[in-house]
């Protein structure tokens, strides 16, 4: 089953997606500038093979719900995320608020 719902953090709205799979859940919360995701996110792939895309993303491990993802400290982030202060150790919630505070990019 796939669930999609808005999440409000400090009066800012994000979209949360949960995909229920056998024995696991894929979890993601995003806004226009980037996203956080569960341990299934391959940060190395984003940094190496897709570096030209400048993806802003963070990964939290050991999370089972969207609320866990928001509260967890990020285990790793993309190089591009780091340029915006989104680094390992910040919570998912903090990362999303930093993403939302970024200036809207062209295109």
- Domains in the chain, CATH or no CATH each: 2-101 (3.30.1980.10)
The per-residue pLDDT for 106 is 41
Residue with tokens 């963070």: 58
The per-residue pLDDT for 102 is 86
| Separate counts of helices (H) and strands (E) for the chain | 4, 6
To the question of pTM greater than 0.85 for the whole model, the response is yes
Assign 58 to helix, strand or coil: strand
Q: Per-residue confidence of the chain (107 residues) as pLDDT tens digits? A: 999 999 999 999 999 999 999 999 999 999 999 999 999 999 999 999 999 999 999 999 999 999 999 999 999 999 999 999 999 999 999 999 999 998 654 44
């Amino acid at each position: 089953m796939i669930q999609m719902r808005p999440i409000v953090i400090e009066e800012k709205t994000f979209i949360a997606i949960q995909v229920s799979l056998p024995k696991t859940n894929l979890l993601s919360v995003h806004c226009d500038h980037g996203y956080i995701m569960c341990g299934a996110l391959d940060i190395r792939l984003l940094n190496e093979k897709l570096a030209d895309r400048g993806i802003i993303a963070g990964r939290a491990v050991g999370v089972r719900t969207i609320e866990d993802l928001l509260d967890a400290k990020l285990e790793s982030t993309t190089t591009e995320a780091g340029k915006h202060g989104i680094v390992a150790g910040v919570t998912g919630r903090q990362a999303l608020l930093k993403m939302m505070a970024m200036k809207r990019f062209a295109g």
